Amino acid sequence: MQIRELSIPDAYEMTPKQHADDRGIFLEWYRFDKLEQTVGHALDLRQANLSVSRQGVVRGIHFASVPRGQAKYVTAVHGAVLDYTIDLRIGSPTYGKWDSVLLDDVDRRSVYLSEGLGHAFVALTADAVVTYLVSDTFNPEREHGISPLDLDINLVFPADLESLSLSPKDIEAPSLQNSAAAALLPTWDECRSFYDSLRTKD
């Protein structure tokens, strides 16, 4: 498995080695030990999610309050999505910036996002199936969203998509600026402190 840190600190792209023969393929899409070596602590897996999206569907930008936050290990098991990691940590050197990774059923990459980072994706194919391993269960009181159409973040969506489809909740989500003003965003310092506590716990 090849691991590459994204331009957003504490987010990583994982590219597995695929073994193919006349029966099909085999790969390891998640290795707890490889991830632990990279981020300095184990993923405390508490929930697994799956979504199916038609082409052009945008999900996100979603994040959870820190602590505890919600780290995510994301992959596409069918079809393709463009997956976005957005730095929402006030005080971070890349605050408000984003990076993207193509997740598909060809290269079968995964993305790991630490707590405090925002996550979104757009489905590039029909019936794009995305799975998420997450470090905490869903808690609606601590879950937040930012509009994926916020011009301050300026996510770039593929030009060849005919249209984008968002949920009412994502359309009505606040901007990055309004979220910061409402004290909804995590800070760089509190996220770093939380990451350190996870390393100490291990």
Going by the DSSP 8-state scheme, the letter that residue 155 receives in this structure is P
- Tell me the sheet residues that pair with 113: 11, 72
Answer yes or no: 19 catalytic. Answer: no
Is 70:76 a contact under the CB 8 Å cutoff? no
Distance CA 202, CA 16 (A): 25
Answer yes or no: 112 catalytic. Answer: no
Catalytic residue, candidates 12, 84, 112, 132: 132
Is 72:119 a contact under the CB 8 Å cutoff? yes
Catalytic residue, candidates 12, 41, 62, 112: 62
Distance CA 150, CA 172 (A): 11
Backbone angles phi, psi at 47, to 5 degrees: -160, 150
Active-site positions?
A: 62, 132
